[in-house]
Amino acid sequence: MDQTLPRAADAADDMADGALLVAYANGDTDAGRTMVRLLSPMLFGYATRVLGDRAEAEDVVQETMLKLWKIAPDWRQGEAKVSTWAYRVMANLCTDRLRQRRGGQVNIDDVAEPPADLASAVEVMTEAARSDALNAALQTLPDRQRQAVVLRHLEGATNPEIARIMDIGVEAVESLTARGKRALKAALAGHKEELGYSDDG
């Protein structure tokens, strides 16, 4: 299914292929503020879902935006979308963070496991609980699968965009998202009724 990709696509259009960034590089402070308002919510949503931690997400968003300001004077309009570039930087920073966790500072088992028991997360049939359950299940996925699934199904990126962001082929993206979805369904399998889909539905 090829869904509409509202958030990333709209922002990319609004940015007019880097025109704002060029304006910023020429001293337009309003262009800089506009870019922050366009890009940072998307980047923050992605980072929060991938890292599962708001404070860490803020760090990587901040770092990504600083890198963007740094390259602004050298930006060549029309060669790439600013949003794709930013997502790519962000994806690399998230990958670095996840690797650091595996490097012994944080036990990977602690990271990979859902922060709360999935059953308890979906006991209350509210939207918030469903969201918690989905995000908990997302945290059980391998890093690359989680990044691809978040980009494809939550951030609304197309497969070619994800391929550019993750620096892999489109087929690899399809494979990652397919395996990620299967793993998500497996993680949520025991909670069909709580999540609103049962065998008789």
Partner 1 sequence: MMDDPREDAALEALFQAERTRAPEISPEFMARLEAEAVAAIPKPAPQIRSAPRRTSWLAGIFTASGLSGAALAGIWIGFAMPESFDTLTLTADNSVSLTAFLPGADMGSLFDE
Q: Which of 33, 102, 115, 190 is in the footprint of partner 1 by CB under 8 A?
A: 33
> Which residue type is seen at 6?
P
Q: Which is nearer to partner 1, 1 or 105 (CB)?
A: 1
Q: Shortest CA distance to 83 belongs to which of 98, 64, 102?
A: 64
Of 79 and 200, the one with the shorter C-beta distance to partner 1 is: 200
Q: Is residue 29 within the footprint of partner 1 (CB under 8 A)?
A: yes
Q: How far apart are CA 97 and CA 32, in angstroms?
A: 27
Site for partner 1 in 121-140 (CB under 8 A): 127-128, 130-131, 134-135
Using the rule CB under 8 A, which residue among 8, 11, 15, 57 binds partner 1?
Answer: 57
Residues sharing a CB contact under 8 Å with residue 54, sequence separation 6 or more, in sequence order? 48
DSSP states of 43-93? HHHHHHHHHS-HHHHHHHHHHHHHHHHHHGGG--TTSS-HHHHHHHHHHHH
Q: From 84-92, 111-119, 157-165, 178-186, give the range in contact with partner 1 by CB under 8 A.
A: 178-186
Q: Which of residues 141-160 bind partner 1 (CB under 8 A)?
A: 153-154, 156
Nearer to partner 1 (CB atom), residue 45 or residue 142: 45
- Phi, psi values for residue 130, rounded to 5°: -65, -40
Question: What b/e sequence results for 87-111 when a residue is b if at least 16 CB atoms lie within 10 Å of its CB, and e otherwise?
Answer: bbbbbebbeebbeebeeeeeeeeeb
Q: Torsion angle, CA of 71/52/139/184, rounded to 10 degrees?
A: -80
Contact mark string toward partner 1, 75..114, x via CB under 8 A: ----------------------------------------
1 scored as a contact of partner 1 (CB under 8 A) = yes
Closest contact distance (angstroms) between CB of 106 and partner 1 is: 21
Q: Where does this chain bind partner 1 (CB under 8 A)?
A: 1, 7, 24-27, 29, 32-33, 35-37, 40-41, 44-45, 48-49, 54, 57-58, 61-62, 65-66, 69-70, 72-73, 127-128, 130-131, 134-135, 153-154, 156, 181-182, 184-186, 188-189, 192, 195-197, 201
